[in-house]
Structure 1
Amino acid sequence: MTQLESPGVEASAKRTLSGSLGATAIVFMVVAAASPLTVIGGAAPLGILLGNGAGFPALYAISAVILLLFAVGLAAMSRHIPKPGAFFTYVGYGLGRSNGLAAAWLAMLTYTTIQVSVYGYIGFILSYTLETYTAVALPWWLFSLLVIGLVGILGYRHIDLSSKVLGVLLIAEVGVVAVLVAAVVFSGGADGLSLAPFEPANVVSGSPGVGLMFAIAAFIGFEATAIFRDEAKDPDKTIPRATYMAVIGIGLFYTLASWGLVMAWGPDAVLDEAAADPGSLILRTMAAYLGATGEIITNVLLITSMFACVLSFHNVVTRYQHSMAAAGVLPDKLASVHHAHLSPHVSSVVQTGTSVVLIAVFALFQLDPVLAVFTWFAGVATLAIAILMALTSVAVIVYFVKTRKDTRLWNTILAPGLGFLGLVLSAALIIAYFPIMVGDVDAEGAPVFGGLSWFLLALVVVFPVAGYLQAAWIKARRPAAYAKLTDSIAA
């Protein structure tokens, strides 16, 4: 970290993060945000039930291809933009300051909503587990608040501590799922092993738009590798390498694991099993193939998986806030770095407070932690991230066309262009099927855009609009600060 030239400035006011995270450590951070066991145990059963049934595993593969195309442009951009703001920084450099601020607020919506959705789910799981084994019933939101407190403590400290905790938890949850898949393969599954989940008829069955929403949601976090640029060792190599490792690893793992889940019950029976109780499908599968011990271990790891998820997203959000504060679009205090922990400690405290307030509001309105808090806000986050990545793809193309800093056609135009098309189509499908996810359907189960659907979708519009208005205000009232944004988020 560069030392401050003025001895009168306290160390806590340092604005630059530092560290020596390697590609593997960063991958642990972002893959933990994807929360492998939470996805296979929580999102995959819902994707099967509400999405396209036995064809759901194919959507992970499709999502991986789309996001890998997007990652090509993201990696190219990270080599030429030596700043940790990721989406909002890249959009600012490619499409200008106003679009950059709009992207910043859309990113904040994405990561805040996905984080709070998992806080709701982990609160439910902890409450359910306690009541199941001890008959003691406590409200879900109490456990959510306890988890927020623990995450806040870890997020306040140095990033290396969080990466070590996430690494251990990630290895454990990936390991138990791998053992399950191996058990299914060696036993031959319920009806024999097949590629039925990848047959076109199964892929397009049911509500593929809802299934695609759950599939893309499983990848949220991989793109945040650039957020850790200031804390990476040799970032020009580490960040692109970590980005590719994350999206390829996540795609292969989810596709294989969800295929194993379908094979465990059989393509014809898995939908009925998911309908019986999607929340317990992974535990019942573990019990059937690995016995009671496997079920108990999985239950414990499901809780730690969700904890790893919220810890990782907490780190991502605090660094987004830190980058935005350094750019002058959030209060300057959020750009502070702790003198001992070298962490964005003020930003971490603010993010902890935000989560507490949101959980308190959800508890006050007596929202269901899974069917409302988790499902609704995971849907908002997924749509927002698809739009955000599509916008970033355009920014990548425009930036390299204007600057000619990288003339590789595939990396700077073709791959980002194909990624953009895939993301736009994905966003359109998610919007079309969004009412099904929140329960706005008619008597026949067809999607109907009601008040709840419009309210949640409006969030994806309101936040970037706030960014545009903020840009206009800064330009009119603080022209010097607006000019400073040129060095922070725009070329």
Structure 2
Amino acid sequence: MTETPERTGVSEASGLRGSIGVTGIVFLVIAAAAPLTAIGGALPVMIAAGNGAGAPMAYIVAAAVLLVFSVGYAAMSSHMVDTGAFYAYVQTGLGRETGLGAAALALLTYTAIQAAIYGLAASTIHDLVVSYGGPDIAWWIWALVLVAIVGTLGYRSIDLGAKVLAVLLVLEIGIILVLSGAVLVQGGSTGIDVVSFTPSSFFSGSPGIALMFAIASFIGFEATAIYGEEARNPTRTVPKATYAAVILIGLVYAVSSWAVVLAYGSADVAAAAVGDTAGLTFGAAATYLGDVWAEVMVFMLVTSLFAALLAFHNAIGRYVFALARQGAAPAKLARTHPRHGSPHFGSLFQSASAVVVVGVFAAAGTDPVLQLFTWMSGLATVSILLLMVLTGVAITAFFARSGVDTRLWHTRIAPVLGCVGLLVITGLVLDNFTLLIGGSSVLAGLLLGIIVVVFVGGVVTARTTGNRRSNDATS
């Protein structure tokens, strides 16, 4: 007997519309990962403060854990289609209260990471404009310009957003591959070696820090399920897109980070990263491709950040839509645009929330990179890890209870192994969390406390709305 996929709460009137396939969804997911931002921004920090030449292996370890986790995730996607993704999976497996707690974590994660990227993108644009003799405009004005552009595209059909991201992503990955190819063809600084992928290199220094940044670079990979309602044949598209996204992101990260290591030499790259953390990758581009290519790469960093902003905006809009459709948010947010089939009110809500977060940091006079980007990305990393652990538990519970799939590896072993791997990474992240957000233990405690409060708030909301529904039914 063939199991009919469950569309939790979906009706013809409230469903999203779109026709994206595997390739379109993979573009949306990889855009959220922002490969050039990871290689140009996170990788140098991983090398300098983490495990030096062993940093590329951290990407492989992170990809392996997420790939195992994705086995159960993809298997469950064959039995339900819902734009709530993690939240919908947790609710189906562990109940409405835990599900809404997970939804609150998801909104916190994506709102935080998007705010972080607005800060980094605005600062990058500001510095770029000034370096070319342009006006010295406050960073938050550039952030608001980005909010307006992203909000306009997010308001429209997902098909339009996917096309924009496809173009930007091809260019972004293209320049990363060109740099990697140039380094490998020219033999690097001291020749080609595989030191980066040896156990001794991976476990040198502080591998926990490298692994922490590596897993953060994958945030957004679960968006394959978020777009299920807007995909062609979602029960086949979502699993394929999930595996493809994790594998492609992992390969791009591993190869390109290895190339950057070889560009300076396995023995010398750590010192080079400490000496010029921000310019490490761009310095490699200047050496192996020329100054013009290095300048192009700086511009491509801006488009990489923009692509990530659009991808996360789309994800948040759909989470808000899913919550409203379940009665946990104002009903107006569950409406879809009559022409575009998009969650347009959810998109507007997300644009407004981005303005609020950016406005608060701007009014406080904080630095867009040292405070906004660092604090919010650290918050998002812990939140998404906890959310994935909850999802892994929910997947295991769902298959154990429903019996709709009896494959042992897909429904028992892989989900459990994925949870164990994620718990280990979560422990490493928490152990290094103070360092991640700038070294303040008080601030670290405050940010971790926000995660707890947000999750509890989601649970309380579920109980409150549940009791209200019960009272309405009996009155």
Same fold (TM over 0.5): yes
Q: In structure 2, how many angstroms separate the alpha carbons of the residues matched to 1:482 and 1:451?
A: 46
Q: In structure 2, how many angstroms separate the alpha carbons of the residues matched to 1:385 and 1:252?
A: 22
Deviation at 1:84, TM superposition (A): 2.2
Look up the SS of the partner of 2:36 in the other structure: helix
Deviation at 1:52, TM superposition (A): 1.8
Look up the SS of the partner of 1:301 in the other structure: helix
Where structure 2 has 5 or more consecutive residues not aligned to the other structure, the ranges are: 1-11
Structure 1 segment 285-296 matched on structure 2, within 5 A: 285-296=284-295
Letter in 2 for 1:263: L
Where structure 1 has 5 or more consecutive residues not aligned to the other structure, the ranges are: 1-12, 441-448, 484-491
Paired-residue identity, %: 46
Q: Which residue of 2 aligns with 1:446?
A: none
Correspondence 1:220 to 2:219: yes
Q: In structure 2, how many angstroms separate the alpha carbons of the residues matched to 1:481 and 1:262?
A: 63
Deviation at 1:160, TM superposition (A): 0.8
Deviation at 1:204, TM superposition (A): 1.9
Q: In structure 1, how many angstroms separate the alpha carbons of the residues matched to 2:282 and 2:142?
A: 21
Q: Which residue of 2 aligns with 1:316?
A: 315
Q: In structure 1, how many angstroms separate the alpha carbons of the residues matched to 2:384 and 2:473?
A: 26
2:465 to 449, 462, 474: 474
Deviation at 1:14, TM superposition (A): 4.1
Paired positions, count: 463
Q: Which residue of 1 aligns with 2:144?
A: 145
Look up the SS of the partner of 1:478 in the other structure: helix
Deviation at 1:31, TM superposition (A): 0.7
Structure 1 segment 358-397 matched on structure 2, within 5 A: 358-397=357-396
Q: CA RMSD in A?
A: 1.5
Q: In structure 2, how many angstroms separate the alpha carbons of the residues matched to 1:212 and 1:370?
A: 21
Letter in 2 for 1:195: V
Look up the SS of the partner of 2:64 in the other structure: helix
Letter in 1 for 2:177: A
Is the contact made by 2:325 and 2:334 (CA closer than 8 Å) also made in structure 1?
A: yes
Moved more, 421-430 or 450-459: 450-459
Q: Which residue of 2 aligns with 1:454?
A: 445
Deviation at 1:279, TM superposition (A): 2.1
Letter in 2 for 1:403: S
Moved more, 452-461 or 407-416: 452-461
Correspondence 1:210 to 2:201: no
Q: Please give the per-residue CA displacement for 1:396-442, whole angstroms capped at 9, x wherever unaligned.
A: 111101110000000011111100000000001100011112232xx
Q: Which residue of 2 aligns with 1:349?
A: 348
Q: Which residue of 1 aligns with 2:36?
A: 37
Q: Which residue of 1 aligns with 2:304?
A: 305
Is the contact made by 2:58 and 2:210 (CA closer than 8 Å) also made in structure 1?
A: yes
Q: In structure 1, how many angstroms separate the alpha carbons of the residues matched to 2:351 and 2:289?
A: 38
Moved more, 263-272 or 25-34: 263-272
Q: In structure 2, how many angstroms separate the alpha carbons of the residues matched to 1:371 and 1:155?
A: 28
Q: Which residue of 2 aligns with 1:88?
A: 87
Q: Please give the per-residue CA displacement for 1:55-96, whole angstroms capped at 9, x wherever unaligned.
A: 111110000000001110110111111322111111111111
Q: In structure 2, how many angstroms separate the alpha carbons of the residues matched to 1:148 and 1:277?
A: 31
Look up the SS of the partner of 2:222 in the other structure: helix
Look up the SS of the partner of 2:401 in the other structure: helix
Deviation at 1:293, TM superposition (A): 1.7
Q: Please give the per-residue CA displacement for 1:431-471, whole angstroms capped at 9, x wherever unaligned.
A: 0011112232xxxxxxxx72111011112211111111112
Q: Which residue of 1 aligns with 2:8?
A: none
Correspondence 1:463 to 2:454: yes
Deviation at 1:135, TM superposition (A): 5.4
Is the contact made by 2:113 and 2:377 (CA closer than 8 Å) also made in structure 1?
A: yes
Q: Which residue of 1 aligns with 2:276?
A: 277
Deviation at 1:219, TM superposition (A): 0.8
Deviation at 1:45, TM superposition (A): 1.1
Look up the SS of the partner of 2:279 in the other structure: helix
Letter in 1 for 2:463: A
Q: In structure 2, how many angstroms separate the alpha carbons of the residues matched to 1:255 and 1:281?
A: 16
Letter in 1 for 2:226: I
Is the contact made by 2:81 and 2:225 (CA closer than 8 Å) also made in structure 1?
A: no
Letter in 1 for 2:123: F
Q: TM-score, normalised by structure 2?
A: 0.95
Structure 1 segment 70-469 matched on structure 2, within 5 A: 70-134=69-133, 136-440=135-439, 450-469=441-460
Q: In structure 2, how many angstroms separate the alpha carbons of the residues matched to 1:352 and 1:34?
A: 20
Is the contact made by 2:374 and 2:438 (CA closer than 8 Å) also made in structure 1?
A: no
Letter in 1 for 2:16: L
Change (3 A) 1:271 1:383: same
Q: In structure 2, how many angstroms separate the alpha carbons of the residues matched to 1:481 and 1:30?
A: 40
Is the contact made by 1:14 and 1:338 (CA closer than 8 Å) also made in structure 2?
A: no
Is the contact made by 1:328 and 1:481 (CA closer than 8 Å) also made in structure 2?
A: no
Moved more, 315-324 or 211-220: 211-220
Q: In structure 2, how many angstroms separate the alpha carbons of the residues matched to 1:439 and 1:73?
A: 35
Is the contact made by 1:318 and 1:348 (CA closer than 8 Å) also made in structure 2?
A: yes
Q: Which runs of 4+ in 1 moved over 6 A?
A: 480-483
Deviation at 1:349, TM superposition (A): 0.6
Is the contact made by 1:50 and 1:437 (CA closer than 8 Å) also made in structure 2?
A: no
Is the contact made by 1:70 and 1:416 (CA closer than 8 Å) also made in structure 2?
A: yes
Q: In structure 2, how many angstroms separate the alpha carbons of the residues matched to 1:74 and 1:333?
A: 30
